[in-house]
Structures are given as C-alpha cells and as structure tokens.
Amino acid sequence: MTRRGFLLGAISAGASRAAARPDLGFHLTDVTGAAGIDFHHNSGAFGAKYLPETMGPGCAFLDYDGDGWLDILIVNGMDWPGHKRAPKGPRSTMCLYRNNRNGTFTDVTERAGLAVEMYGMGVAIADYNNDGFPDILVTAVGQNRLFQNTGRGHFLDVTEKAG
Ligand SMILES: [Ca+2]
Ligand SMILES: [Ca+2]
C-alpha cells in the first residue's frame, strides 16, 4: 500500500465514523470570540521541543468577585530565557475574565494584579485563608505562585509570605 492510499483510507474511515455518530440531543457552538475571550497561549516553543511546550495551559472557573457569576482564569506560559520572540512586544501573562452576566466577559487581568509573567502550567482555586474569597495557586516551571484575593477585585502575590 502506498502512503497516499493509506492516507485516503484513513480519511475515508474517519468520515464514515463521523457520519455514524448518534444524535446526542445537543449541539455545541464555539462562542469564544463572541464572549470576549481573546486568549493566546504562549508555550515559548522555539524548536528545542521542551516537554512543557507540549501541554496546554490550565484553566479555572471561579467567582473571584463574589457576585454569584463564575469568572474565568486561563494560565499562560512565556518565552524561554534567551529566546524572546519580540523583545519589546507584549508580555504573555495569565488572563482573568470577569463575567458580565450577559454571556460576555471582560479582561480584568491588569486591574486584578495578575498580569504577572511566568511559565504557568496549572491552577488550583481554594480559599486558603478562609476569608470567603477564592485564592489562586498557579503551578509553574520554576516557582509556583500563590495569589491572595483581597476581596476588592484585586490579588496580592503572597508566595514568599506564605512560605
Ligand atoms: Ca464573578
Ligand atoms: Ca481567600
């Protein structure tokens, strides 16, 4: 069998499986852009093929401002040291999107104090200091970071203070 024949067969088999999918009773529509989410993951990839580059960023739903509506936090990576793509370009940081309660979100990363550049990988949300406001732990290549929710729409990096 030639490579072309193999590929055509694989494509044909995939199309047959797609056509045979049962009706699940619902349909999903991509509303990312319409909802105001404009996030670009920076894996820092430049050709060395480091393992962290192969993984997507972590994401969490949390109600950081306590209004009863879930907000979205998406973790980001960054350029590797010595391989900055655009030396004076925008930094890649995690993004916090506040729920506008109408199906859209607003990027509040800067005002929330979360425009911090790090090679983030995952995220956990918990109220570590039991004040009623969810806090953020970002796992990263290098130092993990703990951000304490002040309850006033802002977070403080308390990594060192927390030990
Ligand atoms: Ca909220
Ligand atoms: Ca808290």
pLDDT tens digit sequence for 23-40: 889 999 999 999 999 999
Q: How high is the pLDDT of residue 15?
A: 64
Give the pLDDT band (50/70/90) at residue 1.
low
Residues less than 5 Å from ion ligand 1, measured at CB = 63, 65, 67, 69, 71, 99
pLDDT at residue 100 is higher than 70 = yes
- Indicate yes or no: pTM above 0.85: no
Report the alpha-carbon distance of residue 135 to residue 159 in Å, rounded. 12
| Amino acid letter, residue 158 | V
Query: What is the whole-number distance in angstroms between the Cα of residue 80 and the centre of ligand 2?
Result: 32
List strands edge to edge, sheet with 105-107.
59-62, 71-74, 95-99, 105-107
Q: How high is the pLDDT of residue 6?
A: 67
Query: What is the whole-number distance in angstroms between the Cα of residue 147 and the centre of ligand 2?
Result: 9
Report the alpha-carbon distance of residue 65 to residue 155 in Å, rounded. 11
Query: What is the whole-number distance in angstroms between the Cα of residue 110 and the centre of ligand 1?
Result: 16
Ligand nearest to the CA of 137: 2
